[in-house]
Amino acid sequence: MGTIFFLSHQPGDTLNLPIFPGADKLVHMIVYGVLSCSVIFSFSPEVRKQRRGMVLTAAILVPLLFGLSDEYHQSFVAGRSAEFLDLVADGAGGLMVGLAWLLKR
């Protein structure tokens, strides 16, 4: 989460994105997917096995809520703006990892 905060605090003119159209959304999905994976594995194996619904909910909501706070934070950073589609990409990354984990079980 600290890395996400640090990167989102960089002024917009210091970033060299996008490499291709939509690259920033792909990066959002990957980074927030990694956050979702971190949330899942922050629970003990016993909890992951016995409370799958709770773990899945946390794996989806934590990245989504952090993404919401990150977009709000970016609205105060020079050269950056809060974008709804970034939030959608954040949530999609968390959702995809959460569902992949659930289906793997």
Predicted model pTM: 0.85
Q: Report if residue 9 sits inside a domain.
A: no
The answer to whether 1 and 35 have CB atoms below 8 angstroms apart is yes
What is residue 8's predicted lDDT score, i.e. its pLDDT?
72
Q: Report if residue 94 sits inside a domain.
A: yes
Please give the residue range of the domain that contains residue 50. 23-104
Instruction: Work out how many domains the chain is built from and give that number.
Output: 1
Nearest Cα neighbor of 65 from 1, 6, 3 is: 1
**Residue 1 has which token pair?**
């989460």
Q: Report if residue 2 sits inside a domain.
A: no
What count of residues does the chain have? Answer: 105
Q: Report if residue 15 sits inside a domain.
A: no
Q: Report if residue 8 sits inside a domain.
A: no
Q: Report if residue 81 sits inside a domain.
A: yes
Nearest Cα neighbor of 80 from 89, 68, 71 is: 71
Q: What is the pLDDT of residues 29-72, one digit of tens each?
A: 999 999 999 999 999 999 999 999 999 999 999 999 999 999 99
What is residue 32's predicted lDDT score, i.e. its pLDDT?
97
Nearest Cα neighbor of 84 from 68, 61, 97 is: 68
